[in-house]
Copies of this chain bind each other. A is one copy, B any other.
């Protein structure tokens, strides 16, 4: 990556709001999902607040601009005394792919989970998302658990 600008992954800050909204809108549109601005504000506030126990986020930045994000949920798990981290949203802007940003974001979540003493980090992905799964197969273990939803 000698010719490339350095990619920094760091906790989200208030100054990231506009760019985070821009990227998360792209992510949601990948899942054909539209949300109003009130939801964007509410979720950003939950991710930003270090005292809010249920969510946290990291962003990836290069040359002064955000190119990726990861939004995480922290929740109870009956099998453990500790809580677990659900890595809910992972997004790298299309123009910035192929530089290892997704992996950097996941590794930062792993590090934070370890700092917090979490029992586990997990996520789900669609079985036809082959691009994502090529990365996931390198950094995690694919289970044979499939999701059901009302």
Give A residues with C-beta under 8 Å from B: 28, 33, 35, 38-39, 42-43, 46-47, 54-55, 71, 73-81, 86, 88-89, 110, 113, 120-128, 130-131, 133-134, 136-137, 139-150
In contact, B121 and A150 (Cβ under 8 angstroms)? yes
Q: Which residues of B contact A145 (CB under 8 A)?
A: 124-127, 146-147
A73 pairs with B77, CB closer than 8 A: yes
- Contact residues of A: prevailing secondary structure: mixed
B141 engages A149 (CB within 8 Å): yes
Determine whether the beta carbon of B147 is less than 8 Å from that of A124. Answer: yes
In the complex, which residue of chain B has the Cβ closest to the Cβ of A113?
B150
The smallest beta-carbon distance between A128 and chain B, in angstroms, is 7
Q: List 13 A-B contacts (CB under 8 A).
A: A33-B79, A42-B81, A46-B78, A54-B75, A74-B76, A75-B75, A127-B127, A127-B144, A130-B137, A131-B134, A136-B148, A141-B150, A143-B148
Are the CB atoms of A143 and B147 closer together than 8 Å?
Answer: yes
B122 touches A47 (CB 8 A): no
Residue in B35, B80, B125, B142 whose CB lies within 8 Å of A128: B142
A130/B127 in contact, CB under 8 A: no
CA distance A125 to B149 in the complex (A): 11
Which residues on B sit within 8 Å (CB–CB) of A42?
Answer: 81
Minimum C-beta distance from A115 to chain B (A) = 14
